């Protein structure tokens, strides 16, 4: 390979792979040095360099010039393999440097193929990412050649490649989609304060406006729901609740629980816990199916929320208790408390029985001895 061929090779790799020329020159020099060691052995006496202007290869061994043609066929093959390896490593580094700073960014790609037990390989921006099964929206019917949006959640060097992990169930995709669909969010007039999500089922997003003339809820929904409709479709029909943020935790929690109406909210600031009283008719709505609504409200507001309601006169106690059990963790807590109460009641009954026995002289010394 003469100097002109080396310069052409470096230029082609530089343009196609977007790798700096100096990195390519260094890789070729290292490859040629490794090839030369097959013939001359290792040592500091062997030096190889490439003229950056002419592409001419200069090789010396023990201070004397040597002909690179003398490296032999095996050495030439080794050099070729090393050059390919160095190019791949350089290409990996280029991709890594570009995408490591793009974590959390929204990308649009095409599902190229499905790798069993792993997930979909997604093609975007001339690179490939991986959409693992655990990062997909549960129940979403994805197919090869589908176009999808996802956020970058991780970038790692794996061998000679860079692995880019994508996600469609990460809360960041909600933020990015709203930034894409709502100009007021993109220009910071409307701010997303927090996001709580159960992928594939429901999302709650808290927003506020820095401009009194701009309604944050209306801006996110759009005329006749035009803006939020596109986001819901992208997320395979996932329900989205938009909540008006407020710096007052009490007002914020009240807004987040709507359409359920609250009667009273007690805040324990030292433990970040809120006791929320609702009307009997609002209990199921506030808690949600299997406690989903109150869990999302807790995530959204950052408060541990306990919802309760007083029993109406004449209403069976067990009916009220059964609805309360929908709140996650309440059932276990109530059962534990019932066990403790039962034990205490049993102890009281036994104590009363002993007292009665003493009073009625039914307790005999022989009974005590037989029990020992």
- List the CATH number of the domain containing 78: 3.30.1480.10
152/82 Cα distance (integer angstroms): 31
25/11 Cα distance (integer angstroms): 10
Let me know how long the chain is. Answer: 372
Q: Are residues 113 and 91 in the same domain?
A: no
Task: Write out the H or E segment, with its range, that includes residue 77.
Answer: helix 73-99
Q: Are residues 267 and 189 in the same domain?
A: no
SS3 362: coil
How would you write 9-47 as a 3-class SS string? HHHHHHHHHCCCHHHHHHHHHHHHHHHHHHHHCCCCCEE
CATH of the domain at 178: 3.30.300.20
Q: Are residues 237 and 266 in the same domain?
A: no
| Number of domains observed in the structure of the chain | 5
Measured N-to-C along each axis, helices 249-257 and 292-301 cross at an angle, to the nearest 10 degrees, of 150
Phi, psi of 302 (to 5 degrees): 80, 15
List, as one string, the DSSP characters of 284-352.
Answer: HHHH-GGGHHHHHHHHHHT-EEEEE-PPPTT--HHHHHHHHTTSTTHHHHHHHHHHHHHHHHHHHHHHH
| Per-residue pLDDT tens digits for 124-159 | 998 999 999 999 999 999 999 999 999 999 999 988
Of 245, 263, 292, the residue that ends a domain is: 245
Residue 268's pLDDT is 96
CATH of the domain at 149: 2.40.50.140
Query: Would you place residue 184 in the very low, low, confident or very high pLDDT band (cuts 50, 70, 90)?
Result: very high
Q: Are residues 233 and 255 in the same domain?
A: no
Residue 86's pLDDT is 75
Mean residue pLDDT of the chain comes to 82
Is the four-CA dihedral 18, 19, 22, 27 of positive or negative sign? negative
| Per-residue pLDDT tens digits for 2-29 | 678 788 888 888 887 778 888 888 888 8
Of 55, 82, 99, the residue that ends a domain is: 99
Nearest to 135 by CA among 151, 147, 124: 151
Phi, psi of 231 (to 5 degrees): -70, -45
Q: Are residues 15 and 85 in the same domain?
A: yes
Residue 146's domain spans which residues? 103-167
Task: Write out the H or E segment, with its range, that includes residue 236.
Answer: none
Q: Are residues 220 and 289 in the same domain?
A: no
Q: Are residues 94 and 129 in the same domain?
A: no
48/30 Cα distance (integer angstroms): 8
**pLDDT score of 319 more than 60:** no
User: Which residue's entry shows tokens 């196609």?
Assistant: 16
- The larger pLDDT score, comparing residue 362 to residue 172, is at 172
**pLDDT score of 198 more than 90:** yes
| Per-residue pLDDT tens digits for 39-88 | 676 666 778 888 888 888 888 877 788 776 666 565 566 667 777 777 78
Q: What is the pTM of this model?
A: 0.69
Cα-trace Rg, the chain:
35
Q: Are residues 204 and 175 in the same domain?
A: yes
Q: Are residues 152 and 196 in the same domain?
A: no
Of 144, 167, 190, the residue that ends a domain is: 167
Q: Are residues 290 and 232 in the same domain?
A: no
Q: Are residues 49 and 108 in the same domain?
A: no
Intra-chain end-to-end CA distance of the chain, in Å:
103
């Amino acid at each position: 390979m003469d100097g002109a061929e080396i310069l052409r090779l470096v230029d082609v790799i530089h343009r196609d792979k977007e790798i700096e020329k100096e990195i390519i020159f260094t890789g070729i020099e290292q490859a040629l040095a490794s090839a030369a060691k097959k013939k001359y052995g290792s040592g500091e006496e062997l030096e190889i360099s490439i003229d950056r202007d002419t592409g001419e290869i200069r090789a010396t061994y023990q201070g004397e010039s040597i002909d690179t043609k003398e490296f032999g066929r095996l050495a030439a093959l080794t050099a070729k393999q090393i050059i390919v390896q160095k190019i791949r490593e350089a290409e990996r580094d280029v991709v890594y440097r570009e995408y490591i700073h793009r974590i959390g960014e929204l990308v649009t790609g095409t599902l190229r193929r499905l790798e069993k037990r792993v997930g979909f390989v997604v093609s975007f921006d001339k690179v490939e990412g991986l959409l693992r099964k655990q990062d997909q929206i549960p129940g979403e019917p994805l197919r090869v050649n589908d176009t999808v949006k996802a956020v970058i959640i991780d970038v790692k060097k794996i061998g000679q490649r860079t692995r880019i992990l994508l996600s469609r169930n990460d809360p960041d995709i909600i933020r990015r989609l709203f930034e894409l669909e709502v100009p007021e969010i993109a220009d910071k007039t409307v701010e997303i304060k927090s996001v709580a999500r159960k992928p594939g089922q429901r999302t709650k997003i808290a927003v506020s406006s820095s401009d009194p003339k701009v309604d944050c809820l209306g801006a996110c929904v759009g005329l006749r729901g035009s803006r939020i409709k596109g986001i819901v479709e992208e997320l395979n029909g996932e329900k989205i609740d938009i909540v008006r943020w407020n710096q007052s935790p009490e007002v914020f929690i009240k807004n987040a629980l709507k359409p359920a109406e609250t009667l009273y909210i007690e805040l324990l600031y030292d433990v970040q816990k809120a006791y929320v009283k609702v009307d009997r008719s609002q209990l199921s709505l506030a808690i949600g199916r299997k406690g989903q609504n109150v869990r999302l409200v807790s995530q959204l507001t950052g408060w541990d929320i306990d919802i309760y309601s007083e029993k109406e006169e004449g209403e069976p106690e067990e009916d009220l208790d059964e609805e309360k059990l929908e709140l996650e963790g309440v059932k276990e807590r109530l059962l534990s408390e019932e066990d403790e109460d039962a034990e205490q009641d049993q102890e009281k009954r036994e104590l009363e029985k002993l007292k009665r026995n003493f009073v009625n002289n039914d307790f005999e010394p022989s009974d005590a001895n037989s029990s020992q």
